[in-house]
Structure 1
């Protein structure tokens, strides 16, 4: 596995790790600042490390989802036929969530939600009043990425919907100078808007199944390819069920999910892992047959 990042000195470092049944181990960190990070360079660097470990000991290489890494993977697979390159599953899922958040159905609602939280947290008295109504619970929840944080915050907002609406119809709010400001009026309108909360609910329903898969991938327990494949199949079915009455929106969501997953994660190694884990394989087959009969 390799992970590229830039340190405080603006050096581009590439960290190499090895994963096996014994766990994950740090191998080496290379300063690649002086080189162009094109496919040929990355393929050459990877091949050197693979030869150090032994080609017969390496089955899979996991990288980020950059086009240069994908191209490097194709070069390596040509040189080493027993090797599979797999983009990072977590990165793929995060990109999927970002694409969903950019849909016109959700983008404005997410922006309004961020405006609500920013406004409340910038004003101490309003924040204190909000915490009194929510029993001390905050609205902002941190996730592994900026967009996941946005989705988790949406979930918190929705859970505190009644408390927020109570706050913005209270005498505490109407007697505040903030209620007469343009920003205050905009936030109040959003909190009291039926369409805003309807959009928030749909955005949560659209992202929650993908978040579940992301938690499995990022969880402390070891997850296998077969389990991730099953989790993704379950996520797709939940999306189909949740948006069965909104065919246009469902079509947009499934286009995003299928395109990201097939483009980045549909590799033969996943199919092999599923086939070689009969319990997962037959569960998926039986589920697919049942779904086909219903249709």
Structure 2
């Protein structure tokens, strides 16, 4: 009896939570999240979730086996989900960046002009790192770093010695994509350079049977190779700005307002590392631009950065034409009628010039302390207008790797 009562209560709580999230997305807008999974052989699934400021709600999963490369099938699937959630409630749809999803996403936007589609930021940045890894220097040092990790983790003695000298810190980073894990492992190896060299430099290591043999010799050869450590420092230095962005989009705060500026800053840091030598930094910056423009750059990212007070009001920040045009395009696309457009026109200079509540000391201090809500401006379908002064209030939702963007009513 008690078990039945508790189960009924739990079911009621879940239904109440479901209803609250369903009602909220009608007011604030939502993001459709499409998470793809494959066993690498024949089975493929796609999991649909709906995210809004209050939380993320699982919608359903679909077996995609045999249809992964069928763009028309994927479009029809995305369309069915959009209609189920309500096209008028959706701000954007996020999917994988495979060609079939790209085509399906573009078909969806063509049929429903109020929607935005893009791949996730995590996916786009992973593609940039993948292109980096095709550079000879990077591919070589990543493989050598993997060889170091494989040797250490292949036997208990070397693993225990590594943990002894690193204070229990690990070199490998599971539970993320293999490529990103490779870059993070290289970074860990570089940080632990001195500790790793101690494994076979003390008497315990020198007398061990594990210090002999071809694998041990190859391991020691890499550990004392100046060329390896030089390549490791260079690779870590140029990949770290991108890994920083991954940490942001995989964190506990709304991330979209930081991606645009983060990508620009990454190029600046890479250029600075190479002291402005074009032959060094230009090829890498071209990779970033190509992937960014091909996959991720959209009016929403520009608008989110534009409406992020911590960025927009920064001393060194300059609004470029792409950001300005992106903001205007996003507003025009999402403003449903002349009344909403009129409100945007009125509120725009208030935000630009930090007038009213945006200019007081408390608000100025909050620019750096608080994460901004995403696009808290009156610009979506029939939702009622919101003052730009509200931009400094903070959300509590988790955007995670999907870098979701939401328009919130007061």
TM, length-normalised to structure 2? 0.64
Total equivalences in the alignment? 288
Counterpart residue number, 1:244: 275
Contact 2:71 2:103 in 1 (8 A): yes
2 CA distance for matches of 1:143 and 1:255?
30
Q: Structure 2 vs 1, CA of residues 189 and 229 (structure 1 numbering), >3 Å: closer, same or farther? A: same
Indicate the RMSD between aligned Cα atoms, in angstroms: 2.6
Contact 1:165 1:191 in 2 (8 A): yes
Q: Pick one of 218, 231, 237 that aligns with 2:262.
A: 231
1 CA distance for matches of 2:36 and 2:59?
14
Counterpart residue number, 1:265: 296
Q: Is residue 158 of structure 1 aligned with residue 185 of structure 2?
A: no
Name structure 1 gaps, 5 residues minimum.
290-295
Contact 1:230 1:284 in 2 (8 A): no
The worse-fitting range, judged by mean Cα deviation, of 242-251 and 197-206 is 242-251
Contact 2:67 2:74 in 1 (8 A): no
Which is higher, the Rg of structure 1 or of structure 2? 2
Counterpart residue number, 1:57: 89
Q: Pick one of 284, 303, 310 that aligns with 1:253.
A: 284
Structure richer in helix, relative to its length? 1
Q: How do residues 10-89 of structure 1 correspond to structure 2 at under 5 angstroms? A: 11-33=43-65, 35=67, 37-89=69-121
Contact 2:125 2:246 in 1 (8 A): yes
Name structure 2 gaps, 5 residues minimum.
1-32, 321-410
Counterpart residue number, 1:292: none
Q: Is residue 101 of structure 1 aligned with residue 133 of structure 2?
A: yes
Map Cα deviations across residues 28-67 of structure 1 (whole Å, 9 max, x no partner).
Answer: 2223336464221111121122122222111211111010
Q: Pick one of 259, 275, 278 that aligns with 2:306.
A: 275
Poorly superposed stretches of 4+, deviation over 6 Å: none
Q: Is residue 187 of structure 1 aligned with residue 225 of structure 2?
A: no
Q: Structure 2 vs 1, CA of residues 115 and 81 (structure 1 numbering), >3 Å: closer, same or farther? A: same
2 CA distance for matches of 1:78 and 1:94?
27
Contact 2:68 2:100 in 1 (8 A): no
Q: How do residues 101-180 of structure 1 correspond to structure 2 at under 5 angstroms? A: 101-142=133-174, 144-180=176-212
